Amino acid sequence: MKIKAINGFKDILPDEVANWQRIENTARDIFRRFGMQEIRLPILEKTELFARSIGEATDIVEKEMYTFVDKGITMRPEATASLLRAYIEHGLHVKQPVQRLFTIGPMFRHERPQKGRQRQFHQIDTEIIGAPEPQIDAELMALGQMFLHELGLSVSLEVNSLGCPECRPDFRNRLVAYLDERQDGLCEDCKRRTRTNPLRVLDCKKRNCKQLVQDAPSILEHLCSACDTHFTAVQQQLDSLGVTYRLNKFMVRGLDYYTRTTFEFITTDLGAQAAVAAGGRYDGLIEQLGGPRNMPGIGFAMGMERLALLMEQQESHPTIAQADIYIAALGTEAISFSAPLVHQLRIQGKQAAMDYSNRSLKAQMKQAGRLNARFTLIIGDQELSEQEGVLRNMDNKEQAPFPLQEPVEILARQLEKQMAI
Ligand SMILES: [Zn+2]
Ligand SMILES: [Zn+2]
């Protein structure tokens, strides 16, 4: 009996990895430009961390977390809580008042697996802690847009404000009053949410609920003056950076900790509308987790499964060349001669490959093709005795003799020169 992977836990095969690496490399390049530093975090945390940050009444904490109940620990369902826990634990704010951080890795949620959504999924998460200014919000969104643009993806940015503890309770009451009058039309989840987490009703995907909330009170009309000023400044800054966006008053995000600006990069290319990146400001969260008072923060996460799927959809298939040069060694003596040469080329930083199977020239040329080798050096026993191999440029099919009498160090250098031409 074959053992298979668990449902929702997926292997990322070598063919797919090319896109994953491109995503990671692009992210690291863009983060560098914005002065973001990497932080690496553990996968397991105390369950309490997520209950306190994400919120007890959220779908994530209520039913999606992988928890070892007897040990009181949970596999992280998102990155922000862990990152802030580390930030507080190590007092990072003492060293540097404004921290620009990112982390890349797997997260775990027990949801129904679907295309682009696994139970072990991967996120690129980025946070700026310690800066309350609206320009920071715009800068992060500009970063997200630059990254997605660099990957060649077309997505659109939607922005909302969720207010603050000053103005949200009043809005919440108005929303609950509105929903109370319309309970009959709401789905079962939303009936419950009206009591536990009424804002979530605004982004219910069910058609009836969607229609019912069209005329619900808008958070944007109930912001306190500080939140309103902040949100206006965010929009002005987005305009001045040339970032295009759309206001979406129904976007509430699934986590309790968000305040003020929230945003999503969405696409319609994956069937139903889907967010490939999302985040927002969480100005009260750090204090709530036992950190310094009045420490603001904002961040967002990008889903790597969806990004990879989107790249595939948009037919972006980078091929990774697995060899600069393949040495086709024919005969046992040629194999003995070639192995140190391959090793020397690797020392010099080249991708060099050969195999020891002593297969036919045809079979080995086929292998060179599979590896996308740019050059092949053919060495048989006869070539060896005449001290002259054949160097083949795989792009233009040109062949030239290649003298073999020097020691391998020198041969490797000569090959390098030939390959640079
Ligand atoms: Zn407010
Ligand atoms: Zn609903």
Q: How confident is the model at residue 254 (pLDDT cuts 50, 70, 90)?
A: low
Does residue 271 carry a pLDDT above 80? no
Q: What digits encode the pLDDT tens for the residues 127-149? A: 999 999 999 999 999 999 999 99
Give domain limits for the chain: 14-167+223-313, 325-420
CB atoms within 10 A of CB 276: 24
Q: What digits encode the pLDDT tens for the residues 279-311? A: 999 998 999 999 999 999 999 999 999 999 988
The arithmetic mean of pLDDT across residues 360-384, rounded, is 94
Q: What digits encode the pLDDT tens for the residues 86-114? A: 999 999 999 888 999 999 999 999 999 98
Cα of 303 vs centre of ligand 1, distance in Å, is 29
Does residue 318 carry a pLDDT above 70? no
Cα of 66 vs centre of ligand 2, distance in Å, is 25
The domain defined by 325-420 carries CATH number 3.40.50.800: yes
Cβ atoms of residues 305 and 333 within 8 Å: no
In the chain, the percentage of residues whose pLDDT exceeds 90 is 80
Cα of 186 vs centre of ligand 2, distance in Å, is 5
Helix (H) or strand (E) holding 307, with range, is helix 304-313
Which residue from 382, 405, 269 is spatially nearest to 330, judged by alpha carbons? 382
Cα of 206 vs centre of ligand 2, distance in Å, is 5
Q: What digits encode the pLDDT tens for the residues 319-337? A: 666 789 999 999 999 999 9
Nearest-ligand number for the alpha carbon of 210: 2
Give strand pairing partners of 45.
Answer: 74
CATH class assigned to 14-167+223-313: alpha beta
Cβ atoms of residues 328 and 361 within 8 Å: yes
Nearest-ligand number for the alpha carbon of 162: 1
Cα of 184 vs centre of ligand 1, distance in Å, is 31
Does residue 20 carry a pLDDT above 70? yes
The arithmetic mean of pLDDT across residues 377-382, rounded, is 94
Structure tokens at 407: 């020691």
Nearest-ligand number for the alpha carbon of 191: 2
Alpha helices in 90-224 (DSSP H): 92-95, 134-150, 168-180, 188-196, 207-212
Q: How confident is the model at residue 346 (pLDDT cuts 50, 70, 90)?
A: very high
